[in-house]
Amino acid sequence: MFQTPHAMLPSMNHDEAARADFCASLRKKFTTDLFPGTRTLYSKALLPAFEAKHGRKPKNAKEAAQLLQSSFYYRGMNAVGRAAQELVWDTVGESVERQLPELVERAKPKPGALGTVRSNPDLPIPRYIDAVDIHVMPGNFHTELGEDDVFAGALYDRGVHVFAFGGLGDQNEALGVAMAAWVRENYPDFKPHRILDVGCGPGFTTVPWKQAFPDAEVHGIDVGGPQVRYAHGRAESLGVGVHFSQQDGTATDFPDGHFDLVTSMLVTHECPVPVIKGLFKEAHRLLARGGITLHDGGTPAHDPFESHMTSWFGNNANEPFSAQFRMLDYKAALVEAGFAEESYFRGEREPVYLKGQLPPITLVGAVKD
């Protein structure tokens, strides 16, 4: 419904808010009606017709996709989904851009801050980030529009709330809260001194860790300067002390064994496999003995049709690495990074606002011995 205002959240004038509300409604229509409606059409009409003609089910995702493409419902649904994807960023972006000078000032570190922020203008931006605007979000997470820029952070914080039609909570906090709750439930005696959130974006996945473990020193890193600067201003205005820095999660400047928990959320599915392996390797270096690493992992779909359905963002919203992410052998990747095979674990969390639309999200991790 309404996103909790904080000092960094761009305000919206009447018509900006109305357009954003439309985007949220459109995304809701797509996510809860048009997209799942594909399953109805497929099972009741397309599949029976295919079986009548060929005497079998489609044998792979490509054949399932071809069958779907024969339907105007499917083609129209995709066009609407793509339109929504583009419109969200454009609508929110216009509003953020109008207020950018003020937002940049507000994000700057102030005396008496609870946390810290470090930018690194010399950080090389990896090609996989520079070459593809993830989610069709122009400029991606890292583009700098000027000195001390926070545009991409504000765009993503506002944009996600519209995109998920409020489904990640009033502060987009639901993912972080779910992940922290999962750790508490599965490791009740775990008392981390330091926590690292890799690919922290605007910090809505990071702040919940500090709230769940108030005694821990919590860090968030992101390759995007606009993300960490925005995240700092945002966390300060929410009264939560977190340390943000602009770094690449595969090669940080923290010392060995510095953390008890190295985690990421909604990051791994945007990374090529070698980068995922690099994140695991760095996590192993950064963890103290008994420390935990925890990330989103993928699960291959078992049915050609569902495999195609779960590829929607890969095919329509610039998530080129998500297919490989689903196929990766996570146990092998973590072992390769230095973790003991028996310390590997898998878990599940609800797909939050996509509950009922998508299967639960797989979590993967390991404990350093």
Partner 1 sequence: MQAETTTRFQPRRRTAKGQARPRYLQPDDIDKVMLMLVNLLSEVSALRDRLDTAEAVVELGGQPTSAAIEAYELTPERHLARESNRQAMLARVLRPITEERDATAGDEA
The residue type found at 153 is: G
| Smallest distance from partner 1 to CB 60, Å | 24
Q: Which is nearer to partner 1, 68 or 271 (CB)?
A: 68
Decide: residue 132, CB within 10 A, 0-12 exposed, 13-18 middle, 19+ buried.
middle
Which of 319, 307, 250, 259 shows the shortest CA–CA distance to 282?
Answer: 250
The only residue of 3, 9, 10, 19 in contact with partner 1, by rule CB under 8 A: 19
Give just the sign of the alpha carbon dihedral 313, 318, 321, 323.
Answer: positive
Whole-Å CA distances, 157 to 152, 263, 284: 9, 20, 30
The amino acid at residue 44 is K
> Structure tokens of 220?
């968030």
With binding defined as CB under 8 A, does residue 14 bind partner 1? Answer: yes
Closer residue to partner 1, CB minimum distance, 89 or 280: 89
Judged by CB under 8 A, does residue 52 bind partner 1? no
Q: Which of 37, 109, 272, 347 binds partner 1 (CB under 8 A)?
A: 37
Q: Does residue 26 belong to the site contacting partner 1 (CB under 8 A)?
A: yes
Q: How many residues bind partner 1 (CB under 8 A)?
A: 36
Only segment of 26-34, 202-210, 316-324, 359-367 that touches partner 1 (CB under 8 A): 26-34
Q: Specify the stretch interacting with partner 1 by CB under 8 A; choose among 23-31, 257-265, 300-308, 329-337.
A: 23-31
* Residues facing 196 on adjacent strands: 219, 262
Exactly one of 4, 5, 13, 69 binds partner 1 (CB under 8 A); that residue is: 13
Nearest residue (CB) to partner 1, 21 versus 306: 21
Angstrom distance (rounded) from CA 158 to CA 318: 19
Answer yes or no whether residue 44 interacts with partner 1 by CB under 8 A. yes
What backbone torsions phi and psi does residue 153 show, to the nearest 5 degrees? -70, -45
∠ CA(214), CA(217), CA(222), 5° rounding? Answer: 115
The answer to whether 34 contacts partner 1 (rule: CB under 8 A) is yes
State which of residues 57, 63, 80, 123 lies at the interface with partner 1 (CB under 8 A).
Answer: 80
Contact 280, 291 (CB under 8 A): no
**Closest CB to partner 1 among 99 and 206?**
99
- Residues 194/256, Cβ–Cβ less than 8 Å: no
Q: Check: CB of residue 206 under 8 Å from CB of residue 245.
A: no
Q: What is the DSSP letter of 56?
A: S
Binders of partner 1 in range 108-167 (CB under 8 A): none
H/E stretch holding 221 reads strand 217-222
Q: Is residue 63 at the binding interface for partner 1, with CB under 8 A as the rule?
A: no
| Binding piece for partner 1, criterion CB under 8 A, among 14-22, 59-67, 251-259, 326-334 | 14-22
Kindly tell me which residue out of 54, 60, 69, 79 binds partner 1, with binding defined by CB under 8 A. Answer: 79
CA distances from 64 to 5, 31, 68, 79 (A): 44, 20, 6, 18
Q: Of 49 and 145, which CB lies nearer to partner 1 in the complex structure?
A: 49
Q: CA 243, 248, 252, 253 torsion: positive or negative?
A: negative
Asked if 87 is part of the footprint of partner 1 (rule: CB under 8 A), the reply reads: yes
- The answer to whether 142 touches 226, Cβ cutoff 8 Å, is yes
CB of 319 to partner 1, least distance (A): 19
Dist. CA 157–CA 103, nearest whole Å: 13
Interacting stretch for partner 1, rule CB under 8 A, among 66-74, 95-103, 169-177, 272-280? 66-74
The correct pick among 91, 99, 206, 293 for binding partner 1 (CB under 8 A) is: 91
Q: Quick check: 21 binds partner 1 (CB under 8 A)?
A: yes
- Least distance to partner 1, CB of residue 153, Å: 24
Contact residues: partner 1, CB under 8 A: 1-2, 13-15, 17-19, 21-23, 25-26, 28-29, 33-34, 37-38, 40-41, 44-45, 71-73, 76-77, 79-80, 82-84, 86-87, 91
